[in-house]
Structure 1
Amino acid sequence: MQSTTTTAGPIPATPPRPDRPGFFARLDWGLLLLLAVAACLLFYNLGQRPFWQDEAETACLAKNVLKTGLPYAYDGVNVVSQEEEREFDKTGGYLWRWSPWIQIYLQAAGFAVGGFDTAAGRAPFALAALLSVFWTYRLVRRHFGDRSWALMAATLLTLCVPFLLIGRQARYYAPGTLIVLWTLDAFLSDWQHRWRPWLVTFFGMVLLFHANYLLFLSFAPTALAAAVLVYPERMAWRRLALLAGATLAVAVVPGIFLYRIGRQSGMFDVLLVPENMMLYFADLCMFCIPLPVSAALAWRWRGFVTRLARPSDPGERFVLFSAVLIVLSLLFLGIVPQRFFRYIAHLLPLCAILLAWCVRRLWGFSRVSAVLLFFLLAFTNWLAVYPMERLKIVNRPWQNDFRMLTSLNFPIKLFATELVCGYPDVNTAIIDFFKAHAKPGQTVLAEYGELPLMFYVDGLHILGGLQGPVPEGTVPDWVLRRRVVRVNRDRFLFGAREFTDAMDLSRDYERVPLAFPDETFGNRTDDPNHHYFIAVEAPQKELEVWRRKGVTP
């Protein structure tokens, strides 16, 4: 692929759109078929696995929203907390202040329509993921007039298993991704002279902040920096200053007080920055943009790196903008203490657009090569995993299995297998056990997985998990010990493990047989490094449940 660059003179403020039909002027049957496939992959068996810990946090808060109108962390019996009760002030009525509220209200809307059902709680988020597929197509087709590129980008996103996993989860990931696409669509429009795209950008920034302020902080400044570097001629500084001021006044400043963002600043650890950056770029190569593609693009755009030579083609200019935005986002996220793949989920549509553009460009040189590249990108992870293995860059989790995304595989086949055949989720076993054996009013001390219990099993007093110290004098009727030993941010044992370590379980309790593998998370779909599609064979440590002697099941 030969690069054509220019440094003389600005490009037009709005790229030409030779093939821009009205939205309803002509049905694109290819797009409709693709959206039907995406809907099946996102909605089929949406409730087959119960909410895992983080999803259940949102679900418990959403349940309280339907009762009180606000996300309170206390329902009169149980407390929702994974940060040792830092998320609220007890004197303030347990109002949730740790994370933004959009995901909570979206899930509450799902419950209001479909009842307290797993699929209903996830449906608004799966819908946002489906709309993200559509908006990926729309962005490319509307602004660059290339139907083939648009369809390929939407197809690659539809078949991207990390995107499908995240899209089926009741958290902010899919809504945040959709808002990012809306904002970029508005940026490519004539916001310098028209108020409608400016307003879309403004409301997008406000919604993004209230979806997740870390997502806002990782996207807004890096998108601005990427725009300055790649689109300097589009910077209408007065309107941009107005946009920044309005966003700060309406969202950021009130949000700092509402969500008490300063309380989380103490988690910063400079020693984690190099490792975080390394792992983020490894995730990028493993699940988003294969290393050979990144290397080819880096060589193609070497003129931009050395002297800011920008491509003259509007489509390639946007792909370069996307690449710069991705790199800057990873550099920014490296300074955030906790590292999770979900923090870069909003970049997946940009990765799909970039990869589809590579296929489209290759088509002009060799159609056979282009078809082969598209097949490798859409249906395999060979191009992503194999080079990392050969270079010994992959930092796999110890529990890696050859049927996971961290090994050479056909990802969409693994995903379809899980959808059709199901998976023996550990939270399902825990929930079913306590539904069958525990009685209302009894106390359960769970070292982890207490939030799914709170949501799915009514009438139990549930303690432990990551809530903090267990109240003195507590005598639980049931004890759920977990395989993984968890420590808090100060590297001390969480209160539940410390409490159970001090108990004489063999004297006061009896072990209840529960022959089910004690997997750590269950449906932890926010990290493709850890998601299981097919059950792992024995031997595995079984769940450890203890019943207090004298308690009638």
Structure 2
Amino acid sequence: MANQYLWQDEAENAVIARNILRFGYPRAFDGSLLVVSDIGYRKDYTWIFQPWLQNYLTAFSFCIFGGSSLSARLPFVLFGIASFASAYFLARRMFSLMTARVFLVIMLTCVPYLLMIRQARYYSLALFFALLLIHGYLDYAEKKRFADIKILASSFLLFNSNFGLFFPLAAGLIFHRIVFYRREADMKKDAGLILLTALILVPIFIYFKGWLHEVPLSADFVLGNVKFYLRSINRYIVPIRLIAVFYLVFAIMKRTFWPFVASYSDKRNISLILFIFVTTVLFMGIAKFRSLRYAIYLIPLLGILESYFLARWMNHGRVLASLCIVLLVTTNLFHQSLTDIFVKSVSGAFVNLSGKYDFEKQGGILEKMTEKAKERASEKNSIRSYFGEYLYEISHDYDGPIEGIVTYLKENAVETDRVKIPYGDCAVAFYTGLKVDNDMTPGKDPYPEWIIPRDYWTSKGFYSSDYYKEIQKKYEKIVLEYPDLRWENRPDDLGYHNFRTVSDYPKKVVIYKKK
């Protein structure tokens, strides 16, 4: 937990948490560093970009253990472990002990889950309270005592972890309730519970100006987001493409919509997972940002669904099913490689056919299909073991740009020095205690002791400006042997995550020291 430095989003939480201890509330401005917010602030720079539960939890940890990478991440790891236990009991409750046991193996080797629960951010909080809300919903369906209290409490806590994750989950639960319980449900009681939940949560949404997280919608934007989530889920969580193929084959062979399902209870619980999956992917289609973190509760839910099918298979062929599980958790063969090989082969055949009949010259859809087929046929596919790479990561040192910057400043800066840096500002402020400014324009303090123009985050115009020419005259250029990566090591999507130190990155961290 402590080997890798906090990346920017984690450090943002850590800085806000430290400000809570200093000022008594989540303040975004400490007198030097203003934590950037796309939606502004409330009075006295009160932070409203995200709800505060993660900030207060981190502040509590700092109060007990002091401020460090370990103490920042510790409470979230504990919630991640609790989430794992909650998901295990959910699998057992919804299906069977065998399903829960298979799920145990699947989740213990699920790299996106393992990476995200160690982050000093809301991820594991949202996951835990989302699972608690689902447990509460099942209790409510079974007419257990205090189920409505559990729903209200978990909704409140999930909303204060990240309200963007609450809406699609709540929608999935409501739709499922309407479809499967409409005959036995007490509609007045249901409506009253929904209304009471809204009365509790709407003021929070208003205070945090949730409507300002807007995005200019278009069909291409929404479709791009939906494709991203389907692609990412298939590659890194559950091989939904392969499952869909098997489902269609067996549904046609058995002439039934539920070819793998044993009972009505199983149908109802599978539908619950599918309803939540659909509402989440569709809702995230209109979200401003796209990342697996915003669908984190789908990781255990889809893992439970996958485990159910594997457990059913084990009743008919234990050896083959066990081999499949081993390949699932140790390779990406079923997630990506197998279907990619098939798609590449079909694309290659289509390209050959196009060459024979000149599809490209015919224009229209045939020309577009040929271009896409050429692109897919030329792609390089390889079998990877993300879990093996994860084991390497946690057993070896990792060097990122923030570590290089912080280490150098700790060795060479003095307490009163000022730093100008466009990204990684929160991490530098957290680890060094120096005065940090994230504005790369001359501003009020154009020539601090240190200027660090991060490669990706500094505009091209900066390097051709008169301001930069003055910096070159007044400062000594220092190149560190650390890669100037876009992020320290972002965990959300494995396409951006580095399991080992990047040694061949062309750009190195550059620091300018005032002469």
TM-score by length of 2: 0.85
Query: Is 1:523 equivalent to 2:494 in the alignment?
Result: no
Report the equivalent of 2:510: 544
Report the equivalent of 1:255: 204
Aligned equivalents of 2:14 and 2:487: distance in 1?
A: 16
> What per-residue deviation string (whole Å, max 9, x for no partner) do you get for residues 416-471 of structure 1?
1111112112211111111111222222111211110011111x22112xx68662
- Given the superposition, is the C-alpha separation of residues 187 and 500 from structure 1 closer, same or farther in structure 2, using an over 3 Å criterion? farther
Aligned equivalents of 1:496 and 1:68: distance in 2?
A: 35
Summarize the alignment of residues 85-484 of structure 1 with structure 2, pairs less than 5 Å apart. 86-89=39-42, 92-144=43-95, 146-191=96-141, 193-230=143-180, 232-233=182-183, 235-251=185-201, 253-266=202-215, 268-290=217-239, 291-297=241-247, 312-390=263-341, 391=343, 408-458=383-433, 460-464=434-438, 471-472=443-444, 474-484=446-456
> What per-residue deviation string (whole Å, max 9, x for no partner) do you get for residues 313-359 of structure 1?
42343123212321221122111121112111111111110111111
Give the CA deviation at 1:499: 7.6
State the SS of the aligned residue for 2:32. coil
Aligned equivalents of 1:219 and 1:495: distance in 2?
A: 43
Contact 1:470 1:496 in 2 (8 A): no
Report the equivalent of 2:501: 535
Contact 1:431 1:456 in 2 (8 A): yes
> What per-residue deviation string (whole Å, max 9, x for no partner) do you get for residues 8-45 of structure 1?
xxxxxxxxxxxxxxxxxxxxxxxxxxxxxxxxxxxxxx
Give the CA deviation at 1:130: 0.5
Contact 1:310 1:317 in 2 (8 A): no
**Letter of the structure 2 residue corresponding to residue 484 of structure 1:** Y
State the SS of the aligned residue for 1:523. coil
**Letter of the structure 2 residue corresponding to residue 278 of structure 1:** K
Match of 1:81 among 14, 36, 44: 36
Contact 2:489 2:497 in 1 (8 A): yes
Give the CA deviation at 1:503: 4.5
State the SS of the aligned residue for 2:419. strand
Aligned equivalents of 2:408 and 2:387: distance in 1?
A: 32
Aligned equivalents of 1:519 and 1:126: distance in 2?
A: 25
> What per-residue deviation string (whole Å, max 9, x for no partner) do you get for residues 520-551 of structure 1?
111211222211112233352111111122xx
Contact 2:400 2:483 in 1 (8 A): no
Contact 1:192 1:239 in 2 (8 A): no
State the SS of the aligned residue for 1:444. strand
**Letter of the structure 2 residue corresponding to residue 521 of structure 1:** W
Aligned equivalents of 1:170 and 1:109: distance in 2?
A: 13
Report the equivalent of 1:511: 477
State the SS of the aligned residue for 1:171. coil
Contact 2:130 2:154 in 1 (8 A): yes
> What per-residue deviation string (whole Å, max 9, x for no partner) do you get for residues 274-328 of structure 1?
1111111101111121021233245667899989x99734234312321232122
Give the CA deviation at 1:218: 2.3
Contact 1:173 1:346 in 2 (8 A): no
**Letter of the structure 2 residue corresponding to residue 280 of structure 1:** Y
Contact 1:154 1:352 in 2 (8 A): no
Aligned equivalents of 1:382 and 1:206: distance in 2?
A: 40
**RMSD (CA atoms):** 2.9
Aligned equivalents of 2:69 and 2:215: distance in 1?
A: 35
> What per-residue deviation string (whole Å, max 9, x for no partner) do you get for residues 53-75 of structure 1?
00000000011112233111112
**Letter of the structure 2 residue corresponding to residue 98 of structure 1:** F
- Given the superposition, is the C-alpha separation of residues 304 and 284 from structure 1 closer, same or farther in structure 2, using an over 3 Å criterion? farther
Aligned equivalents of 1:441 and 1:325: distance in 2?
A: 52
- Given the superposition, is the C-alpha separation of residues 472 and 237 from structure 1 closer, same or farther in structure 2, using an over 3 Å criterion? same
How high is the sequence identity, in percent, across the aligned residues? 26
- Given the superposition, is the C-alpha separation of residues 371 and 407 from structure 1 closer, same or farther in structure 2, using an over 3 Å criterion? same
Aligned equivalents of 1:370 and 1:352: distance in 2?
A: 16
Structure 2 alignment gaps of length 5 or more? 348-371, 373-379
Point out the more displaced range, 296-305 or 108-117: 296-305
Aligned equivalents of 2:18 and 2:408: distance in 1?
A: 22
**Letter of the structure 1 residue corresponding to residue 228 of structure 2:** L
Point out the more displaced range, 49-58 or 493-502: 493-502
Aligned equivalents of 2:491 and 2:122: distance in 1?
A: 13
Contact 1:192 1:236 in 2 (8 A): no
> What per-residue deviation string (whole Å, max 9, x for no partner) do you get for residues 136-165 of structure 1?
121232454x22211211321121000000
TM-score by length of 1: 0.80
**Letter of the structure 2 residue corresponding to residue 381 of structure 1:** N
Q: Tell me which protein shows more helix as a share of its residues.
A: 2
- Given the superposition, is the C-alpha separation of residues 239 and 453 from structure 1 closer, same or farther in structure 2, using an over 3 Å criterion? same
How many residues matched? 478
Aligned equivalents of 2:255 and 2:56: distance in 1?
A: 43
**Letter of the structure 2 residue corresponding to residue 119 of structure 1:** L
State the SS of the aligned residue for 2:477. strand
Aligned equivalents of 1:472 and 1:255: distance in 2?
A: 36
Aligned equivalents of 2:479 and 2:441: distance in 1?
A: 28
Aligned equivalents of 1:241 and 1:497: distance in 2?
A: 59
Aligned equivalents of 2:302 and 2:142: distance in 1?
A: 26
State the SS of the aligned residue for 1:211. coil
- Given the superposition, is the C-alpha separation of residues 530 and 246 from structure 1 closer, same or farther in structure 2, using an over 3 Å criterion? same
